[in-house]
Structure 1
Amino acid sequence: MTDTTEQTFRELVFPYLNHAVRMYETSYATRADIDAAMRFGCGYPSGPLTVLDELGLGVVRDVLAARFAESGDNLHKPADLLDELVAEGRLGKESGRGFYTYADGAVVADDETPSADSAPQLRHEITTVGVVGTGTMASGIVEVFAKSGYDVVFVGRSTEKTDGVVAAITKSLDKAISRGKLDEAGKADVLARLTAATQREALADVDLVVEAIAEDLAVKTELFRDLDRIVKQGAILSTTTSSLPITELAGVTGRPEVVIGMHFFNPAAIMKLVEVVTTELTSPEVDETVRALTAKVGKVAVSCGDRAGFIVNALLFPYLNDAVKVIDEGRGDLEEIDAAIKEKAGFPMGPFALLDVVGNDVSLAIQQELYAEFKEPGFTPAAGLEKVVADGHLGRKAGRGFHDYS
């Protein structure tokens, strides 16, 4: 490993780890949920708090403190909790205690470990699920529920759109058959659970609605106002938004207590993570039901509150933004940075490859949301990210982003 690789790792990954500590110390999410979110949402080999324990809290704290002394950037200032744990001698795996507790190098139960009887239960009966939308995310969500034995009513703007959902699911099921994971009878059972509609009134009797339409607050607000009119009382209304305020969607209904976030990750049929996002008005029974349902359909639920980025995006995109700033300042080569992060951190992709996969326009919009919410100067979108978007270099989908795909 070269000194440059180590330097790149510390410069980009240590602030990400620090941000995770701050998320944990404010009780926004549990240590288990923060770690699970980044493992299952990003494919990282370990969550950030586990990585801190492995690297040593004192090592990370000292590197961050030196960076902060040079940069004055608050994102480099060691989190208060990091200082406290180091002072207490909780230095990580090597000392037997860090964010987790260890015996013979393995994690053991402690006072933060959930008890076996704390698993969430279905407090609302869910037999029929409604999905609004016909895009890739919506199609994946329909498939997830249908394959798990639920009847699914899905609504699109036209028969052509809903036919596209059935075609996408059929293709996925055929692929499963070719791999020996499903047979023709199983495929027929899944397809038989699907009901397509072009009118929202078809959702009147469903027990849960999952909204998966355009990431536009005005469009979603209109939908939730209409769902409030149409869907039976007692049904749960959920949204897959990755960045918009769920509280505002709940506010246009007469039943904010049943409105919740179910942020699936794309492709929904494959990715394991669902961020379950509650507002201050979401009832505990709805929260528990959605977490239990998530587990029942084979996904991993993590819990958090309604603020920009939730867990994954709030940790991921500042790190990606920092990588662009390194290039902006002429302190690195993007190919070398991508390679260094894959080698040292074990991430599936380097930051620039990932930006291009997500879409640089999408990435910029998320970073803008984070800056607007937290008012953190270090979250200011990188000039290089703004430029590639302005130039139309949006990533893989455009044939060019930070890398060239032509």
Structure 2
Amino acid sequence: MAEVRKLGVIGAGLMGNGIAHVAALAGIPVALVDVNPAALEKALGTIGKNLERQASKGTIPAGTKDEALGRITAGTDYAAFADCDLVIEAATENEAIKKKIFESLIPNLRADALIASNTSSIPITRLGAATDRPHRFVGMHFFNPVPMMKLVEVIRGLATDDATVAAVTALAQRMGKEVVAAADYPAFVVNRILCPMLNEAIFALMEGVGDVRAIDAGMKLGANHPMGPLELSDFVGLDTLYSVLKVLHEGLGDPKYRPCPLLAKYVEAGWLGRKSGKGFYDYSTTPPTPTR
């Protein structure tokens, strides 16, 4: 396949609506599908606001917003993917859920259509093997927020062919992204390095090495990080961070990847970070207040 002419996106959450946004802005028609109609309505509203913000800042031409939104078709039926060249799955970071999605997706695809997963940690070979086309299956990991973050990790599974890698690489570049090739090891490049650092910051908090403000200020001022590790953990989502660490721990068998018990406790409490309104910070106040 020389070019992706129409794109499908499964999941209208943060990542899915961001992928639809940048694809539509790049002139690509998008079928955005989610089981929840309310999530689709919210996603289209978010995309509209983000496009408006870009236009007001002059980063996209005036009038681009309506053109881009006009390229996105939202719905709940996988039949919308019948004429898509590539479908990107951007559902929650749960292997069982992703495999169930692929089961429902495959009967609605052309035989030559490609499938990509936006997974941040789950092995691509294993996900691809759960489909009827492992040679046309690839990892395409975008970063949050998708319209702002320049990176896409492209991950080749054991069976992925060269044409599939070339097609998704060309698509990412058309979306204005920089591509990094990552081997199919748990968590790939960025999260393999980043998530253990965030986990270590949570261990430091649990052990009383520093409080939330001290740990975040220390890394911002001492390592020149734009966000502290606890603030970044809240931004990523504590449930997502926990899932990635579990994949690393189980996949590599090294105790250094063991999720911090305090992280598990926050996830059990439903304190998932910004998206739930509370994590290592309470976002009901301005500025946010540390919870520990």
Cα distance in structure 2, aligned partners of 1:334 and 1:166: 35
Q: Take 1:194 and 1:330, find their aligned partners in 2: how far apart are those partners?
A: 49
Q: Which residue of 2 aligns with 1:267?
A: 145
| 2:183 partner amino acid | G
Q: For residues 276 and 168 of structure 2, what CA distance do their matches in structure 1 show?
A: 36
Aligned residue-pair number: 284
Per the TM alignment, residue 399 of structure 1 is displaced from its structure 2 partner at its CA by 4.4
Any idea what SS the aligned residue of 1:302 has? strand
CA offsets per residue over residues 27-69 of structure 1, 9 Å max, x none?
xxxxxxxxxxxxxxxxxxxxxxxxxxxxxxxxxxxxxxxxxxx
User: 1: distance between equivalents of 2:121 and 2:21?
Assistant: 24
Tell me how far 1:351 sits from its aligned partner.
1.8
Contact 1:356 1:395 (C-alpha < 8 Å) held by counterparts: yes
What's the counterpart of residue 359 of structure 1? Answer: 237
Q: In 2, distance between residues paired with 1:165 and 1:327?
A: 35
Q: Is the 8 A contact 2:3 2:171 kept in 1?
A: no
Residue from 285, 291, 298 that aligns with 2:163? 285
- Structure-1 residue corresponding to 2:11: 133
Higher relative contact order, structure no. (Cα contacts within 8 Å, ≥ 6 residues apart)? 1
Distance in structure 2 (CA, Å) of the matches to 1:169 and 1:211? 18
Aligned-CA RMSD value: 2.2
1:197 aligns with 2:75: yes
Most deviating of 155-164 and 218-227: 155-164
Partner of residue 176 from structure 2, selected from 298, 301, 304: 298
Distance 1:308 1:391, change over 3 A: same
**Consecutive aligned runs of 4 or more in structure 1 exceeding 6 Å deviation:** none
Question: 1:256 aligned to 2:154?
Answer: no
Matching residue of 2:40: 162
**What is the distance in 2 between the residues matched to 1:405 and 1:169?**
23
Most deviating of 386-395 and 295-304: 386-395
Q: Deviations over 1:299-327 (max 9, x none)?
A: 11111122221111110111122223334
Alpha-carbon distance in 1 for matches of 2:96, 2:217 = 41
How do residues 114-125 of structure 1 correspond to structure 2 at under 5 angstroms? 124-125=2-3
Distance 1:238 1:343, change over 3 A: same
1:242 aligns with 2:120: yes
CA contact (8 A) 1:261 1:277 kept: yes
Tell me the distance in 2 between the aligned counterparts of 1:397 and 1:187. Answer: 25
Aligned to 2:279: 401
Q: Distance in 1 between matches of 2:216 and 2:148?
A: 25
1:224 equivalent among 91, 102, 115: 102
- Spell out, residue by residue over 1:125-174, the C-alpha distance to the aligned partner (whole angstroms, 9 max, x if none): 21111112222211111111111011112223355443333322222222
TM-score, normalised on structure 2? 0.88
**What's the secondary structure of 2:116's corresponding residue?**
strand
Rounded to whole Å, the distance in 1 between the matches of 2:254 and 2:109 is 40
Partner residue, 2:288: none
Picking from 380, 384, 398, the partner of 2:258 is 380
Distance across 2 between alignment mates of 1:361 and 1:306: 22
Contact 2:24 2:72 in 1 (8 A): yes
Unaligned runs of 5+ in 2: 285-292
- SS in structure 2 opposite 1:280? coil
- Does structure 1 residue 336 correspond to structure 2 residue 200? no
Change (3 A) 1:397 1:226: closer
| TM-score of the superposed pair, with normalisation by structure 1 | 0.64
Q: Which structure features the higher share of helix residues?
A: 1
The question of 1:144 aligning with 2:22 is answered: yes
Cα distance in 2 for partners of 1:155, 1:130 equals 8
Deviation at residue 183 of structure 1 after TM alignment: 4.7
Counterpart position of 2:65: 187
Q: Give, in whole Å, the separation in 2 of the partners of 1:397 and 1:215.
A: 15
Amino acid at match of 1:164: K
1:66-145 correspondence to structure 2 within 5 Å? 124-145=2-23
Displacement of 1:363 after TM fit? Answer: 2.1
Match of 2:204 among 326, 341, 344: 326
CA distance 1:128–1:379, shift in 2 (3 Å):
same
Contact in 1 for aligned 2:205/2:215 (Cα 8 Å): no
